[in-house]
Amino acid sequence: METEHSSLETITGSLGGRLRAVREARGLDVESCAHALRLPVRVVRQLESNDYSGIDYHVYLGGYLTKYARYLGMDEAEVKGELERIKPSEPTLVATGGISHSRYLLENYARAATYVVLTAAIVVPTIWLGVRGTLDRDPSHLAPLDAAPVAQVDAPAAASTVASVVAPAGTPAANEAGSNSDAAVASAPAASPQPATAAPAATPAPDQQPLMASMAPFPNLGSDAAHPAQPASATTSVGSGAHSLVLSLQGASWVEVTTKDGSRLEYGLLPAGSTKTYHSDQPLEVRIGNATGAQVTLDGQPMALDSFRHSNVAHFRIEVRDGKAAPTGV
């Protein structure tokens, strides 16, 4: 009897015993409390019996006890005291190994050096391959777009041919040569006929040879001795009509002359010194690439290009109204 009484006092003195005593004093049963708290009946019985097995201390136990004590109107300080009493001990952290400061610095610098070496191994060859194509290109084969057409590849030297010298008949040299020839033929065996030397292929005209244009600001690399200037072409006329447009170019220039119906009277690069006349009764649209030094005459009257020029390119139209041609902007 004394043992049972002491056990009852122990349970009653604990937080679970006080929760049970307050519940019974209010006339509540376990099922109604579990329903109100939305907890399983098993959990409510465990809280009243101080049996916390299966309930996580860090996540659920504190919430369950606080919620139950608040529902019964008990002081929450008792719950905090109970939680402090049953708080599990944290294991002590023990350092099992260490690393020296010098080794730490060595590993960090070695890692950084590895990244630098890998980056250099990837970036440097890429840049070298990209620049190599530009550096290996022969700049002598490049020409600006506004320069006169120059042959890209010089014509190869003609193959040497064997020249035969024939002496007049009856002279001592001829007789000596004849005797030597007869002796050589008599002493040497019959030789196989030699194939005739093929004549070298004709070099294409400079204006038909391929060009390589470059947008890079290379100067004119060709000298006058290597590439002599082409003579100025004679005045030519294109089209038919009462109105005439004359272009005189001091430098090589790209010229486009288009009629109203879309047909082109000119579309190409004209060499320096060119003078060309375009006849038409329709409106014309004119573009002159290298407008510096270009002179335009419309029906015998000189025409200024300053108002139609932009970035050294002149672009204007020739309108025909009441039988008169006049320039207008585009």
Task: Taking residues 222-248, report their average pLDDT.
Answer: 66
pLDDT digits (tens, 9 = 90+) for 56-75: 888 898 899 999 999 999 98
Compute the average pLDDT of residues 108-118: 93
Question: What is the reported pLDDT for 29?
Answer: 92
Lowest mean pLDDT among 6-15, 236-245, 311-320: 6-15
Q: What is the mean pLDDT of residues 102-108?
A: 89
Distance CA 185, CA 207 (A): 51
> Based on C-alpha coordinates, what's the Rg of the chain?
54
* Confidence bin at 1 (pLDDT 50/70/90): very low
Quick: pLDDT tens for 160-173: 443 343 444 444 44
The mean pLDDT of 127-142, rounded to a whole number, is 70
- The 10s digit of each residue's pLDDT in 114-125 is 999 999 999 999
Instruction: State residue 292's pLDDT score.
Output: 83
- 45 or 159: whose pLDDT is higher? 45
pLDDT digits (tens, 9 = 90+) for 212-224: 555 545 444 444 4
Instruction: Give the residues across from 303 on adjacent strands.
Output: 296
Instruction: Please report the pLDDT score of residue 104 as a whole number.
Output: 87
Higher-pLDDT residue of 144 and 263 is 263
Question: What's residue 110's pLDDT?
Answer: 94
Average pLDDT over residues 92-109: 81
* Claim: this prediction has a pTM higher than 0.75: no
- Average pLDDT over all residues of the chain: 74
Q: Is the pLDDT of residue 106 over 80?
A: yes
Query: Residues for the chain: how many in total?
Result: 330
- Per-residue pLDDT band for 207 (boundaries 50, 70, 90) equals low
Residue 32 confidence class, pLDDT cut points 50, 70, 90 = very high
What average pLDDT does the segment 318-322 reach? Answer: 88
Question: What confidence score (pLDDT) does residue 202 get?
Answer: 53
Strands (E), the chain: 236-239, 243-248, 253-259, 264-270, 275-280, 284-288, 295-298, 301-303, 309-310, 313-321, 324-329
Distance from the Cα of residue 82 to its chain's centroid: 70
Which is more confidently placed, 195 or 248? 248
Q: Is 299 helix (H, G, I), strand (E, B) or coil?
A: coil
* Cα 91 to Cα 8, 88, 213, distances in angstroms: 34, 9, 80
Decide which of 87 and 184 is more confident.
87
φ, ψ for residue 114, nearest 5 deg: -65, -45
Instruction: Look at residue 197 in the predicted model and tell me its pLDDT.
Output: 46
